[in-house]
Structure 1
Amino acid sequence: MFKKTFKGGVHPDDGKRYAKDASYRAYLPQGELVFPMSQHIGKPAKPLVKKGDTVLAGQLIGEADGFVSANIVSSCSGTVKAVENRRTASGAKVMSVVIENDGQYTLAEGIGVERDYKMLGKEEILGSIQKAGIVGMGGAGFPVHVKLAPKNADEIRYIIANGAECEPYITCDDQLMRTKSMELAEGMRILLKLFPAAEGVFLIEENKPEAIAAMEKACAGDEKLKVHAAKCKYPQGGERSIIQVIAGIDLKLGMLPADAGCVVDNVATIYAIYQAVCKSIPLMERGFTVSGDVVKEPCNLIVKIGTNMAEVLETAGGIRDGKEAEKYLSGGPMMGMALADLNVPICKNNNALTVLGEDPVAKAEQQETACLRCGRCTRVCPLGLSPQEMMDAAKRRRFVRYEKKLYGLECIACGSCTYVCPAKRPLMQTFKQTKAEIMAKKRAAQAQQGGAKK
Structure 2
Amino acid sequence: MMLQLFKFKGGVKPQTNKTQSVAAPIGVAPLPSRLFVPLHQSIGGTPRPLVQTGERVLKGQLIGAADGWISSAVHAPTSGTVRAIAEHVAAHPSGLTTLSVEIEPDGRDEWIARTPIDHGAMAPEAVRERLREAGVVGLGGAVFPTHGKLTASKTVPMEELVINGAECEPYITCDDLLMRERAEEVIRGVGVFRDLLQPKRVLIGIEDNKPEAVAALQAAVARLGEDFAVVAVPTLYPAGGAKQLIRVLTGKEVPSTKRSTDLGVQCFNVATAYTAWRAVAHGEPVVSRIVTLTGNVERPRNWEALLGTPLSEFVALGAPKPDTDGYLMGGPMMGFAMPGMDAPLVKATNCIIASSPTLFPPKAPEMPCIRCGECAKVCPHELQPFELYWFSRAKNFGKTQEYHIFDCIECGCCSFVCPSRIPLVQYFRFAKSEIWAREKEKNAADQAKARFEWKTERDEREKAEKAEKLAKAAAAQAAKKAAEAAAAAAAGADASAAPAADAPVDAEAAKKAAIAAALERARAQREAAAPKNTEQLTPAQQREIAAVDALRRQAGIEPAADPAPAEEPKP
What TM-score do the two structures reach when normalised by structure 2? 0.76
Which residue does the alignment assign to 2:111?
A: 107
Contact 1:168 1:332 in 2 (8 A): yes
- More displaced 10-residue stretch of structure 1: 219-228 or 187-196: 219-228
Task: For residue 85 of structure 1, give the secondary structure of its aligned residue in structure 2.
Answer: strand
Q: How does 1:314-325 map to 2 (within 5 A)?
A: 314-319=316-321, 323-325=322-324
**1:42 aligned residue (44, 58, 76):** 44
Which residue does the alignment assign to 2:429?
A: 432
> In structure 1, what is the Cα distance between the partners aligned to 2:359 and 2:253?
32
Shift of 1:5: 4.0
The percent of aligned pairs where both chains have the same amino acid is 35
Which residue does the alignment assign to 2:97?
A: 93
Letter in 2 for 1:28: P
Which residue does the alignment assign to 1:178?
A: 180
**2:450 aligned residue (429, 450, 453):** 453
Per-residue CA deviation, residues 178-232 of structure 1 (Å, 9 max, x unaligned), is 0111111111111111122332211100111100000011112746311010111
Which residue does the alignment assign to 2:535?
A: none
Task: For residue 155 of structure 1, give the secondary structure of its aligned residue in structure 2.
Answer: coil
Q: How does 1:49-448 map to 2 (within 5 A)?
A: 49-90=51-92, 91-109=95-113, 111=114, 113-152=115-154, 155-220=157-222, 222=225, 224-292=227-295, 294-319=296-321, 323-358=322-357, 363-364=362-363, 366-403=364-401, 405-448=402-445
Contact 2:116 2:283 in 1 (8 A): yes
Contact 1:254 1:410 in 2 (8 A): no
> In structure 2, what is the Cα distance between the partners aligned to 1:71 and 1:158?
28
- More displaced 10-residue stretch of structure 1: 268-277 or 100-109: 100-109
Letter in 2 for 1:64: A
Shift of 1:447: 2.1
Contact 1:29 1:311 in 2 (8 A): no
Where structure 1 has 5 or more consecutive residues not aligned to the other structure, the ranges are none
Task: For residue 315 of structure 1, give the secondary structure of its aligned residue in structure 2.
Answer: helix
Shift of 1:61: 0.4
Shift of 1:441: 1.4
> In structure 1, what is the Cα distance between the partners aligned to 2:109 and 2:434?
42
Letter in 2 for 1:41: I
> In structure 1, what is the Cα distance between the partners aligned to 2:156 and 2:61?
35
Shift of 1:154: 5.8
Shift of 1:258: 1.2
Contact 1:154 1:197 in 2 (8 A): no
> In structure 2, what is the Cα distance between the partners aligned to 1:154 and 1:41?
25
> In structure 2, what is the Cα distance between the partners aligned to 1:206 and 1:72?
35
Letter in 2 for 1:95: L
Shift of 1:151: 3.4
> In structure 1, what is the Cα distance between the partners aligned to 2:156 and 2:130?
21
- More displaced 10-residue stretch of structure 1: 128-137 or 220-229: 220-229
Contact 2:320 2:354 in 1 (8 A): no
> In structure 2, what is the Cα distance between the partners aligned to 1:85 and 1:336?
24
Where structure 2 has 5 or more consecutive residues not aligned to the other structure, the ranges are 452-571
Shift of 1:363: 2.5
Contact 1:309 1:345 in 2 (8 A): yes
> In structure 2, what is the Cα distance between the partners aligned to 1:275 and 1:212?
22
Letter in 1 for 2:394: R
Contact 2:66 2:133 in 1 (8 A): no
> In structure 1, what is the Cα distance between the partners aligned to 2:192 and 2:445?
44
What TM-score do the two structures reach when normalised by structure 1? 0.95
> In structure 1, what is the Cα distance between the partners aligned to 2:237 and 2:180?
22
Which residue does the alignment assign to 2:19?
A: 17
Contact 2:161 2:199 in 1 (8 A): no
Length, aligned pairs only:
446
> In structure 1, what is the Cα distance between the partners aligned to 2:74 and 2:422?
39
Task: For residue 195 of structure 2, give the secondary structure of its aligned residue in structure 1.
Answer: helix
Contact 2:152 2:197 in 1 (8 A): no
Task: For residue 362 of structure 2, give the secondary structure of its aligned residue in structure 1.
Answer: helix
Letter in 2 for 1:384: E
Contact 2:42 2:145 in 1 (8 A): yes
Structure showing the higher helix proportion among its residues: 2
> In structure 1, what is the Cα distance between the partners aligned to 2:358 and 2:373?
26
> In structure 1, what is the Cα distance between the partners aligned to 2:405 and 2:433?
11
Task: For residue 211 of structure 1, give the secondary structure of its aligned residue in structure 2.
Answer: helix
> In structure 2, what is the Cα distance between the partners aligned to 1:340 and 1:223?
44
Shift of 1:150: 4.2
Letter in 2 for 1:94: T
> In structure 2, what is the Cα distance between the partners aligned to 1:300 and 1:42?
29
The root-mean-square deviation of aligned C-alpha atoms, in Å, is 1.7
Shift of the 134–359 alpha-carbon distance from structure 1 to 2, 3 Å rule, reads: farther
> In structure 1, what is the Cα distance between the partners aligned to 2:250 and 2:405?
25
Contact 1:371 1:423 in 2 (8 A): yes
> In structure 2, what is the Cα distance between the partners aligned to 1:29 and 1:452?
52
Contact 1:154 1:195 in 2 (8 A): no
Contact 2:156 2:261 in 1 (8 A): no
Structure showing the higher strand proportion among its residues: 1
Shift of 1:28: 2.4
Shift of 1:13: 0.6
Shift of 1:32: 0.9
> In structure 2, what is the Cα distance between the partners aligned to 1:237 and 1:276?
25
Per-residue CA deviation, residues 114-170 of structure 1 (Å, 9 max, x unaligned), is 433333331222121111011111111111111112433862211111111111111
Contact 1:63 1:72 in 2 (8 A): yes
Contact 1:86 1:95 in 2 (8 A): yes
- More displaced 10-residue stretch of structure 1: 440-449 or 393-402: 440-449
